[in-house]
Structure 1
């Protein structure tokens, strides 16, 4: 019986039009083998030799034992720190053919030059081939995503109980990241964005020693990795008491999020999700304060295909997972973002994977 990884590799190979293919993105290596590792500056690659139908995984020597435990491949080749990676590839494969496929986004210029220096091949980009395959999640993958989402929602539920006036943003980060590990996360899917007061006007600001005050917005954007899959959720709270303006801004963003979710369905352009959410904010006069896309794909990576923006004419298809996260960010005042994760299910409908309440909570 073939494993899910063997099936993915078979589908991938059936679409290849090169003699040899190098998969070097750790996320893609995990997708095709089940082996999840960050090699840092070291070389790691899954190589498909289409001339011999061989599949070889090259790993840093220190990762060999870990790779052998999970990656059931014909051959796993360790590379020591003293060896030149592409020389090892040439020695173990021999005749590489004339054309080599690489992921343009994953291969650095330095590695590309090493490849050209060692191998006499014509290089072509196979990034889109991989992206298209990963774009459509199976129900099993959705179940894995739900585990990561459940963990981060537990963190959110418990974490907001820790918030108090005088606490710094960084202190709240520490509390939340402790809870991530406590509830079983393997790690963060990105650096937590915890912002209060006027800092919440920075969509991707960095937590600081600013102390939380009465009447502040507190924006919490965070996610975890569990068994190779990521979660990403944002909620915004108000401490103590909300002004009428704060409530208006919050209600506008909430309505925009719901409009985006309602628009998300198979066979419509991705841009329609962005435009539907954006129209709500524009109609309330806050259009100048929402200047980024409405969402991004989510899965093995916290940012992957598709990109949900106002110029993306690609059609939504079943199996896609993406965030819907409109926001209003007013400089020197504050901001609100409400982010959910949606799956375009077998019926072509938006199935919302996040369950944390969206309604305004006063802490």
Structure 2
């Protein structure tokens, strides 16, 4: 992890920052290799120029952090202690006081920011958000391998869910079946709340599964992902349980066509926003533009939704090593919705689709 820390410090020096405080769970994991949910407690990676990296965390987690691979300094604190005072005293002993500190302005609460200012009253603050999101944007080979395995498990989840479909089964029962199967594969946690929607409910892009029962001639939408060794997957598939209408078939074919066109265009040098426009223009040409109500996709890695946001105004050029989703959708009230989503890994040439569950319309009889 030291190379990531060195790279971050190098980026922050361009902002004249001689230190930084990183406390979001995802970025702490990225820099330390240790994942923890601190709840109300404070955790953070503190980087100060010419000083070994510091991990501020509860005493009870010191051993776990070491076992996860953290080889640098630790400032541990008991629950009755003020962690900021512990950090301040440690730095005084090291005769190190920051002058310009980079922080995650998109993450720190006002309360945490005020506490930080009280601890370091003479420090000027700058933003580390862009620097660290740019580092996380380009994945290493190891990260690619982890994302690929996470994608394979997502494929397995969809396959299991499709096999569980039968007349009268509820959305939540299908969720339970596929998540149980993934637990047996060693998955501890889904990357977000699993979505299984039947019939007209598929027209809600972020619908909630409930006790709705599957009926003949329903569309069924699956949206799910897993966390595998700290990295997330995300896949969406829509299938037909029995016969569907000509309009629903046209909607499906339109979404698939839009997705295929955007995937094909996902090459190095193409602007992110251009992909959204390609998919959106095709859907509009087919008469469903007003029913495509969200962006084309999002970055993916340690978090399910991370930089970049794949919307039409994003001019960021695609680079080799990026991982993002392509997920156009059409949602027509009372008719139903279709979304097809895949994870892509970009190269110097054609993109690699990490999720591979079939996309041709599957009719479950």
What TM-score do you get using the length of structure 1 for normalisation?
Answer: 0.96
Where in structure 2 are the equivalents of 1:274-285 lying within 5 Å?
A: 274-285=276-287
Q: Is the 8 A contact 1:154 1:183 kept in 2?
A: no
Aligned partner of 1:249 among 251, 256, 259: 251
Write the distance in 2 (CA, Å) between the matches of 1:117 and 1:77: 18
2:363 aligned counterpart, secondary structure: coil
Write the distance in 2 (CA, Å) between the matches of 1:221 and 1:80: 41
Ranges in structure 1 where 5+ consecutive residues have no aligned partner: none
Ranges in structure 2 where 5+ consecutive residues have no aligned partner: none
Deviation at 1:69, TM superposition (A): 0.7
Where in structure 2 are the equivalents of 1:1-363 lying within 5 Å?
A: 5-17=1-13, 18-50=17-49, 52-94=50-92, 95-120=96-121, 121-345=123-347, 347-363=348-364
Q: CA offsets per residue over residues 121-141 of structure 1, 9 Å max, x none?
A: 221111100000000011221
Q: Is the 8 A contact 1:193 1:220 kept in 2?
A: yes
Q: CA offsets per residue over residues 7-50 of structure 1, 9 Å max, x none?
A: 11111112223122111111111111211111122111011011
Write the distance in 1 (CA, Å) between the matches of 2:77 and 2:219: 50
Deviation at 1:54, TM superposition (A): 2.1
Q: CA offsets per residue over residues 35-90 of structure 1, 9 Å max, x none?
A: 1111122111011011x322011112221211011233321222222222221211
Write the distance in 2 (CA, Å) between the matches of 1:47 and 1:97: 10
Write the distance in 2 (CA, Å) between the matches of 1:104 and 1:61: 27
Write the distance in 1 (CA, Å) between the matches of 2:37 and 2:262: 35
Deviation at 1:348, TM superposition (A): 4.1
Write the distance in 2 (CA, Å) between the matches of 1:141 and 1:348: 19
Q: Is the 8 A contact 2:264 2:350 kept in 1?
A: no
Write the distance in 1 (CA, Å) between the matches of 2:69 and 2:126: 26
Q: Is the 8 A contact 1:168 1:211 kept in 2?
A: yes
Write the distance in 2 (CA, Å) between the matches of 1:88 and 1:317: 42
Write the distance in 2 (CA, Å) between the matches of 1:80 and 1:164: 53
Write the distance in 2 (CA, Å) between the matches of 1:85 and 1:180: 38
Q: Is the 8 A contact 1:198 1:334 kept in 2?
A: yes
Write the distance in 2 (CA, Å) between the matches of 1:22 and 1:40: 18
2:309 aligned counterpart, secondary structure: strand
Write the distance in 1 (CA, Å) between the matches of 2:186 and 2:158: 14
Deviation at 1:272, TM superposition (A): 0.8
Q: CA offsets per residue over residues 300-338 of structure 1, 9 Å max, x none?
A: 110001111111111111111100000000112210000
What TM-score do you get using the length of structure 2 for normalisation?
Answer: 0.95
Deviation at 1:102, TM superposition (A): 0.5
Q: CA offsets per residue over residues 188-218 of structure 1, 9 Å max, x none?
A: 1001111111111110111111111111111
Write the distance in 2 (CA, Å) between the matches of 1:255 and 1:321: 21
Q: Is the 8 A contact 1:68 1:76 kept in 2?
A: no
Q: CA offsets per residue over residues 283-313 of structure 1, 9 Å max, x none?
A: 1100010010000000111000111111111
Q: CA offsets per residue over residues 235-265 of structure 1, 9 Å max, x none?
A: 0011111221111111110001101101111
Deviation at 1:279, TM superposition (A): 1.4
Write the distance in 1 (CA, Å) between the matches of 2:209 and 2:81: 41
Q: CA offsets per residue over residues 96-147 of structure 1, 9 Å max, x none?
A: 2222111112211111111112221221111100000000011221111011
Please provide the CA RMSD for this pair: 1.2
